[in-house]
Amino acid sequence: MRKMIIIAMTMLMAISLNAQQAGGNGQTGNRQQAMQRIEQQVQHYSEAFALNEEQAEQFGTLYKAYNKQMRAIHDQYRHERTAEGVTMTDEQVEKRILDNFAQSRAILDVREEYYKEFRKILTPSQINQIYEDEKARRAQMRR
């Protein structure tokens, strides 16, 4: 458990340092950073879950596809932030609420689909760890 925490902390520091060094690379830099982060996550989970080479390869392919679909959903429903002091119209608010419902459904569908595939390689506890890590990363990004 302690080793897993150290690996996770090292991974987070590397991601943070990488983001600081990239500075203003623009969209291409962001995509490259995302790809590197996903590769690091695949490596981390493969080691943490003690996957053999074949399982690690299957997991890596599956995890990358899962992340690609999740990223596409988030990109599809991305909203511009409302400037402070600006009031949205009822129509804008309603659209945002309905989009949030649609996004939540799409995410749930992808999670259900990939859970079945992940389950062929991982235990439910391991899959839950991936979901918990996602949740922590989202909270960190919000801050």
Whether residue 5 is predicted with pLDDT greater than 80 in this model: the reply is no
For residue range 57-105, what is the model confidence (pLDDT) as tens digits?
Answer: 999 999 999 999 999 999 998 877 777 778 999 999 999 999 999 999 9
The average pLDDT across 22-28 equals 48
Place of tokens 């990488």: 18
Q: pLDDT class for 56, splitting at 50, 70, 90?
A: very high
The average pLDDT across 112-128 equals 97
pTM of the model: 0.73
